[in-house]
Structure 1
C-alpha cells in the first residue's frame, strides 16, 4: 500500500454551525452539506467534516470529543496578512509567528484555537530558490 495524500479529517464539535462559520468566514473555506445533512468545509481538494458531539456519526473514533484536534492548514497569504485577518476577526494567536519544518520544508506558522478549542496551525511555506 502507498498513501498518496489526505482527503479529509473529522472534528467532533459542540456546535456544528459555529464551527462551519469559523472555518468559512475567518479561514476562507467553502461550506458543504452532504449525506443526511452532514456539514463540512472544503479547502481546495481537502475538507474538514464536522460531527456533533451530542450525536456522533457511525463509524467514529474510539473516543470522539471536541477540542482534541491539532492540525496544520496551509495558507497563501503572508504571515502579516494572516495576523491582520485574525486580529480583525477577534481571533487570538496562541503561539507564533514561529519557524517550523513541515512535510515539504521550512515554513512560518501561527497557531489559533477554533471555537471548540482545537489547535489550528496556519502555515506558509518559504519560497524555494
Structure 2
C-alpha cells in the first residue's frame, strides 16, 4: 500500500488554493485551480489535496459531518518539512501568513512553527535537526 495524498475538505476552496499555492509555496499538479478538487505535489513525499466540501457532500449525500459540529476541530494537522525554518518563516511573513507564536524545539531533533490555513486547519512547518538514529539529516528538497 502507498499513501498517495492527504485531502482536506474545505468550504473556502479559492482561499485555500491561494494559501497553499501563494503563501506556503506548494505547486499544483495541474494549473487549473477550479473546484471541486486540486492536488499539490511537494518535491518529495505524498500530495496534499483540497476538495470542495459541498461538492463531496452532494456526491455522497448527507454522509459528511457539518464543518461546524466541532467533532473535527484540530483532529488533524498538515506537517511540511523545510531545510531552514528561519528562512521559510521569513518567506511566510512576506507572503502575509500569521505564525502562531515562536518556533518550538522538540528534544533537539525538530524545530517547528505553526499556522492555520483559511479554513482553520493546523499547519506544522518542521526543520529536522537530527534523526532518531543519529544519521545525517536528509535534505527536504
Above 0.5 in TM-score? Answer: yes
Residue deviations 1:7-47, cap 9 Å, x none?
A: 3101011122321221111222111349x963111112321
**Is the contact between residue 40 and residue 48 of structure 1 (CA under 8 Å) also seen in structure 2?**
yes
**Is the contact between residue 12 and residue 64 of structure 1 (CA under 8 Å) also seen in structure 2?**
no
TM-score (norm 2): 0.69
SS in 2 for 1:108: strand
SS in 1 for 2:102: strand
Partner of 2:10: 13
Moved over 6 A (4+): none
**Is the contact between residue 9 and residue 48 of structure 1 (CA under 8 Å) also seen in structure 2?**
yes
Seen in structure 2, the aligned counterparts of structure 1 residues 88 and 80 have a Cα distance that, compared at 3 Å, is same
Distance 2:78 2:91 in 1: 19
Seen in structure 2, the aligned counterparts of structure 1 residues 65 and 49 have a Cα distance that, compared at 3 Å, is farther
TM-score (norm 1): 0.74
Partner of 2:139: none
Q: How many aligned residue pairs are there?
A: 121
Partner of 1:119: 122
Distance 1:24 1:107 in 2: 25
Distance 2:51 2:66 in 1: 9
Matched, 1:100 2:113: no
